[in-house]
Amino acid sequence: MPRRRPSADIVAEICGPGRSIRPAFQPIIDARSGRVAGFEALARLVDETGYGATADFLAGLPDSARLRLFETMLDQSLAVMADLGGPEETFYVSINAERFLFLDDAFLAIVTRGLGKHGYPASRLVLEVLENGLIENEAGMIESLARIRGLGIRVALDDIGTAHASLINIKTLPVDILKLDQGFARGLAKSPHDLQFALSLISLARGLGKTLVVEGVETAEILDALMILGVEFAQGYGIARPMPASDVRSWLDTYEVPVATRSPQSLLGTYASHLTVVETCRILMHQPLPVAWKEEAANADACEIGRYFSRCGLHDTAFGKAHRQFHRVMTCYATDYPLWKTGAEAFAHTLATAIAEGQEG
């Protein structure tokens, strides 16, 4: 049997002289409390000029090198994370693994060896399965994921929404976490209508008993909107960019927990709030009207959206007027659905237009 070369040697060989692979850490927050829940470890090529991008470089690696790359990333990430936090402050670490790695006989042993070496609890490790189309060896994949989860490690399905196979994979693979691809959240300021995807995914994830992480949260407004929709976890430049291990402690010490509230703090937040109202109306379509709603409907200035508009003096805008108009028809979803729908859509449309044009209040 050939002697196994240490993975660090192989990665150094691939990287070339003076270069190495290091994890950069990007925080993932609990969007309900605003607190930091964990970090995704992202592979970065490091040379004498510092941290560089990685994607192009990784695409050219042979399969055998990718297993070694994973091993190196796991080792380095667990070394950092095992030292971070304490009894009062625990974080999980999320590490990317390409699909075929889960089918490699050596994979599970590499993972358990890494955990053992650093004394790192399995319950604080997440392995992200990269999404890239339909799974070839479905049975093998299911078995591998089940064994990993049997150790107490959680599994996430990464980049949900980038492959046509997403829904089938969600249905088939035994995973704990769904990570919505950053393409959905990133563009929300320009196309607020896309919040409907987040809302539907939240509902799907909840129904399936899975945790949803939304990636690509680039601004405070996007975070605000997602918090209102009830997203559980969020990650993106608006919270923090990926950072070298040496910066993580000081970032944590200066991180200001955002106000966790169900009240909108931005126009995009009011759009999210409207979506939840519309969704609730649809769910209640064949139910009696909730008593509290009669009062809420009667006063367009007293709902969460109305209060935000009052604070920012926005009632006389086109969308402010459309909001009042919607309140007039808000409770008629069961008796005159077309009228209700027109009101709901008119408000959503004028508000989305204002957001896309950058009329922040």
Residue 159, interface with ligand G (CB under 6 A)?
yes
Q: Which of 98, 128, 131, 304 binds Mn ion (CB under 5 A)?
A: 128
To 10 degrees, what angle do helices 107-118 and 138-150 make? 20
Residue 236, interface with ligand G (CB under 6 A)?
yes
| Partner whose footprint covers residue 99, from Mn ion, ligand G, none (CB < 5 to 8 Å by kind) | none
Work out how close the CB of 116 gets to Mn ion at its nearest, in angstroms, rounded to a whole number. Answer: 24
Cα–Cα distance measured from residue 113 to residue 42, given in angstroms and rounded to the nearest whole number:
20
Residue 158, interface with Mn ion (CB under 5 A)?
yes
Work out how close the CB of 179 gets to ligand G at its nearest, in angstroms, rounded to a whole number. Answer: 6
Cα–Cα distance measured from residue 280 to residue 272, given in angstroms and rounded to the nearest whole number:
12
Residue 94, interface with ligand G (CB under 6 A)?
no
Residue 38, interface with ligand G (CB under 6 A)?
no
CB atoms within 10 A of CB 243: 17
Q: Which residues contact 6 (CB under 8 A, 6 or more apart)?
A: none
| Partner whose footprint covers residue 124, from Mn ion, ligand G, none (CB < 5 to 8 Å by kind) | none
**Which residue is it, tokens 């691809």?**
181
Residue with nearest beta carbon to ligand G: 236
Work out how close the CB of 235 gets to ligand G at its nearest, in angstroms, rounded to a whole number. Answer: 6
Residue 77, interface with ligand G (CB under 6 A)?
no
**Where would I find the beta strands (DSSP E) of 170-283?**
177-180, 211-214, 233-234, 243-244
- Burial of 310 by CB count in 10 Å (0-12 exposed, 13-18 middle, 19+ buried)? middle
Work out how close the CB of 32 gets to ligand G at its nearest, in angstroms, rounded to a whole number. Answer: 20
Whichever of 27 and 320 has its CB closer to ligand G, that residue is 27
User: In the beta sheet, which residues pair with residue 94?
Assistant: 40, 126
Chain residues that interact with ligand G, rule: CB under 6 A: 26, 42, 96, 158-159, 182, 186, 215-218, 236-237, 242
Chain residues that interact with Mn ion, rule: CB under 5 A: 96, 128, 158
